[in-house]
Amino acid sequence: MSNTEVIVTREEGSTLIVTITRPEAMNALNASVLKALNAVLDRVEGEQGKHLRALVITGSGEKAFVAGADIKEFEAMTPQSARELAHHGQKTFARLETLKVPVIAAVNGFALGGGLELALACDFIYASENAKFGLPECTLGLMPGFGGTVRLPRRVGAAKARELTYTGGMIAASEALSLGLVAKVLAPAELLPAALETAKTIGSRAPIAVAMIKKSIHEGASLTENAASDLEAKLFGELFATQDKTEGVRAFIEKRKAQFTGK
């Protein structure tokens, strides 16, 4: 187990559990959280993280996943410093979105503002029954700055994203599920175990193949259908040069469980 001031991490098998831990501020994002999250991503991308196959991100306690950014930090900001903060948050979340290993958001409570933007940068979201989602920045005279107006329309459609961001309203986990914002809704006690079980399943698959699938979905989303299909074919072909492909096919033919090594 590793601890920082604002983030706690622990490993369970090949999964790294990342917990945002600012209970006094409902786990709100600030410069310290972004710095600590980048340090975690450095670890995952480096030698220390070679054995990792998935991340699960959650918030401490039962009330909040991440209840937005730390508004107290906004009072003294200038337009220039605010723009720099937005770029910093966007770059951090882009690192998360393009990380080779899948990232599951286990949303245990309020995911508002920067908290929803963080969850949207993950590959998919599991939510507690008492989770709430929203981008309420307009109620403060502001707008989302960490990718909310970019990723939310792509997840739920432009019309619903407009409604949520123009009104600053919140939706319950059940509505988030119906919109396709979240993949699964669970009882609070079942949330983290379910996320970890899915992460364990992902960890049992061929890691290079999973990374290629993630790359194809992410990069293909911004391409034309023909260009996205070309990318898929290219990545498909590259997998035929891996030991994991040889092992997976051989194991299927021999009717045994494949033992993937990530090579």
Both tokens of residue 41? 């991503």
Q: How far is CA 74 from CA 24, 35, 70, 157, 237, in A?
A: 18, 17, 7, 30, 49
What are the tens digits of pLDDT across the range 95-124? 999 999 999 999 999 999 999 999 999 999
pTM of the model: 0.94
Q: Lay out the sheet containing 2-3: strands in order across.
A: 2-3, 7-12, 15-20, 54-59, 103-107, 124-128, 184-186
Residue 2 pLDDT greater than 80, yes or no: no
User: Looking at residue 120, what is its pLDDT?
Assistant: 98
What are the tens digits of pLDDT across the range 63-96? 999 998 888 888 889 999 999 999 999 999 999 9
Q: Across residues 182-206, what is the average pLDDT?
A: 97
User: Looking at residue 86, what is its pLDDT?
Assistant: 95
User: Looking at residue 69, what is its pLDDT?
Assistant: 82
Both tokens of residue 88? 């910093």
- Length of the chain in residues, anyone? 263
| Ramachandran sector of residue 126 (left: φ over 0; alpha: ψ -120 to 50; beta: rest) | beta
User: Looking at residue 1, what is its pLDDT?
Assistant: 47
Residue 3 pLDDT greater than 80, yes or no: no
User: Looking at residue 4, what is its pLDDT?
Assistant: 57
The domains found in the chain, sorted by start residue, are: 2-203 (3.90.226.10), 207-253 (1.10.12.10)
The catalytic residues are 117, 137
Average pLDDT, the chain: 95
